Structures are given as structure tokens and as C-alpha cells.
Amino acid sequence: MTTPSSTSASTSASTLTPLLPLNLYHLSPTIQKWCALRCADIATLNTRGVYYENKSIHHYLNHPIRYIKLIGLIVSIDDFARRRIYTIDDSSGVCLECVALLPPPPPSNPSSSTTSTSTSKTNLPTTQTPAPSEPSITQPQIPWDTISECKTVRILGVMGTYMSMPQLQIVKMGVVESTDVERKWWDECAGLKDPSLGILGRDWVLNEEEIERWKRRERRRKAREVERGRQGVREGQGQGKKMIGNREGNRLKDGGGRKQNTDSVKEERAKQQQERKRKDDPHHLLSTIPVKPPRETSPNKINPKSPTTEKRILPIALSDLSKYDTFGL
């Protein structure tokens, strides 16, 4: 991917824009929005060493950008291990690499090993797998058989970086059938960067009223959490007092508090005296020598093994991409 020298001025200007604190990023108008940007604009995005939700976040000026929608012409397709890279040219002067993860290969069938079929570069050499209910980076929704070079496609993707160069990780991809869709995308790109009305046309600034409103909301949320914690502690203390009261009541019913049963005490003392006399006699050691090893340590018995712990793969919770604007995809 080539970056024109004309974008260096905008890149240097964007690095001088001060960033807002990370705890205010959820108030950004672009953090959960599909932003229509050209390849030349995407090439100017930079991370600036900021991580949001444990992921590196890109910025345009000081606007955090995560989701991109792009329309362009496929100029090349390169296949690698488990991924396919589409190079997109949208006539903005810069080409962008868009990466899509390939579905896993089908299981090998020994009976059909003698037959060999030749597949082209653009056709996917796998079986048709059912489309996922929601698109994601790991399971993108792409018509593999209809996507080829020299076709205009529309892409929904998540911003990424490879070797300090911006990349787009494909979530959805489709073929553009008419120029009207492309014209609407160009209008949206221009409107998004309009200095007077566009979101990206000026710096992201929060006034004191919005910040104070967010602080009040956070204080109320923390107060509710503290109240829930106190309520749980009070319920636990109430249950503990109830159990203690039940034990005291049972003790009073049995014998009147601390009064002990003298018969049981006498029996316990007699058992202790007999045990003492038995240990004083040396012949008691003969009774403790086993004639044969116990069943538990017998070599003929196989000790049961503890059950193996099953490994669990925790699924990664992806953001719900279907609720955002997908311009017809």
C-alpha cells in the first residue's frame, strides 16, 4: 500500500490535536458508527498509542475510529494461510489492503481422494458452510464465489494495523450492482468531513455541561452498586443471626443451656482409661500388625485415577454489529 506525500500535512496536523480522556470515549459520535472514509483518509489514521477496551484505537484528528465502510475496485487478490487479502482502489490516490479470514477447510474424504478438481484463484476451495447469524471478523459474510478482480465491492470492516500500516479487517463484503450506491457513499464521505456540518470536519470537543452530566450519571451508578453491596451484607448478617438464634433455641430445649449430660461424660472418661491401659501393655502392638496388606494398598488393585479436567474455550464477546448502519449490506 502506497501513501502519497500530500497526506503528511494532515497526519502532522492530526497528531497535534489533543485527545480527550479514555473514560469519555463512549461519548464520541464516531466510536460506535460506521464511518464512510476513502482510502486516502484511512491512510492518515493513527493509533497514537491509545488502547480502548484492550484494543488499539485509530484516530482522525481526535475522533476515535473503529468501524469503516468502504467502496472501491478490487485490483488484486492474494491468498495466504487462512486469510485472503483484497487490495482496494477507490480513486483517491491510495490503495488499501482489506483482510478476510477464510473458513476452515473441509475434512478429508479418503473415498474421493482419487478425484481431483481444479479451482481458480478467486473461488474458495472449501465446502459451503452456513452463514453465521451475526457477522464478525472471525466469520465474515462474503460471497466468495462472486468476488473477483476488477469488480467494485462495498466493505464493512474494523480498523487494524499490520507492520505500522493501516488495514481493514473485513466483516461484510458485497458486490456493488449500480452506480447509485457508489454515488451515495461519495456523498456520505463528503458530508462526514464537511467543516460546517460534518462530524469529522472539526475537532471533537465536549462542553462542561456534557462532562458534568456524565459525572452525575457515574456517581449515581456507583451509589447503586454500593447500595446493592450493603443490602447483600445486611441480608447475610440477618441470616447469620437467625441461624445463631435457632441454635440457641435448640440448646435451651435439649437441656437448659450449658448443662451437660453426666452419663456421657462418665462413659467418655471410662473409654479414655481403657485406652491408656491398653497402650501401657506392650502386647497390644501385636494386634496392630496386619497379616496382609490392606485392600487399598494391594498391588493387585489399580488405584483409580482422578478425572481429567476438561478444557473450556471461552467465547469472545463481539460487539453487535447488526444494529449499526450497514448501507444496504
Residue 208: the pLDDT is 80
Q: Which helix (H) or strand (E) holds 89?
A: strand 83-89
The average confidence (pLDDT) of the chain is: 75
Higher pLDDT, 298 or 31: 31
Higher pLDDT, 193 or 283: 193
Rounded to 10 degrees, the C-alpha dihedral 3/8/10/16 comes to 130
Q: 207, 210, 189, 209: which is closest to 199 by C-alpha?
A: 189
Q: 58-60 and 63-65 as β-strands: parallel, antiparallel, unpaired?
A: antiparallel
> Using 50, 70 and 90 to split pLDDT, how confident is the model at 132?
low
Q: Is the pLDDT of residue 89 over 50?
A: yes
In the three-class reduction of DSSP (H, G, I as helix; E, B as strand; rest coil), residue 323 is classed as helix
For residues 182-187, average pLDDT: 92
Q: Is the pLDDT of residue 311 over 50?
A: no
Q: 37, 18, 53, 35: which is closest to 316 by C-alpha?
A: 53
C-alpha distances in Å from residue 26, one per residue of 9, 15, 29, 65, 200: 29, 21, 8, 12, 16
CA 199 to chain centroid, in Å, comes to 28
pTM of the model: 0.58
For residues 263-279, average pLDDT: 80
Reading phi first (left if > 0) and then psi (alpha if -120 to 50, else beta), residue 290 is in: beta
Q: Is the pLDDT of residue 323 over 50?
A: no
Q: 98, 22, 89: which is closest to 53 by C-alpha?
A: 22
Phi and psi for 193 in degrees, rounded to 5? -105, 15
- Which residues are paired to 161 by β-bridges? 166
Residue 95: the pLDDT is 94
**Residue 102 to residue 83: CA distance in whole angstroms:** 5
Sign of CA dihedral 35, 39, 40, 44: positive
Q: What is the pLDDT of residues 136-171, one digit of tens each?
A: 888 898 998 899 999 999 999 999 888 888 899 999
Higher pLDDT, 179 or 4: 179
62-71, 235-244, 299-308, 312-321, range with the lowest pLDDT: 312-321
Residue 8: the pLDDT is 47
Residue 248, number of CB atoms within 10 A of its CB: 11
Quote the percentage of the chain above a pLDDT of 90.
23
Between the ranges 10-24, 135-149, 204-218, 227-241, where is the mean pLDDT highest?
A: 135-149
Residue 129: the pLDDT is 53
Beta strand residue intervals within 120-217, DSSP E? 152-162, 165-175
Residue 136, number of CB atoms within 10 A of its CB: 18
Q: Is the pLDDT of residue 304 over 70?
A: no
**Residue 276 to residue 34: CA distance in whole angstroms:** 85
Q: Is the pLDDT of residue 61 over 60?
A: yes
All three cell numbers of 319: 460487539
In single-letter form, the type of residue at position 117 comes to T
C-alpha distances in Å from residue 305, one per residue of 151, 297, 300, 302, 309: 61, 14, 15, 9, 12
Higher pLDDT, 238 or 139: 139
**Residue 230 to residue 211: CA distance in whole angstroms:** 29
63-77, 89-103, 114-128, 179-193, range with the lowest pLDDT: 114-128
Q: 160, 149, 152, 158: which is closest to 185 by C-alpha?
A: 152
In single-letter form, the type of residue at position 254 comes to D
**Residue 136 to residue 149: CA distance in whole angstroms:** 23
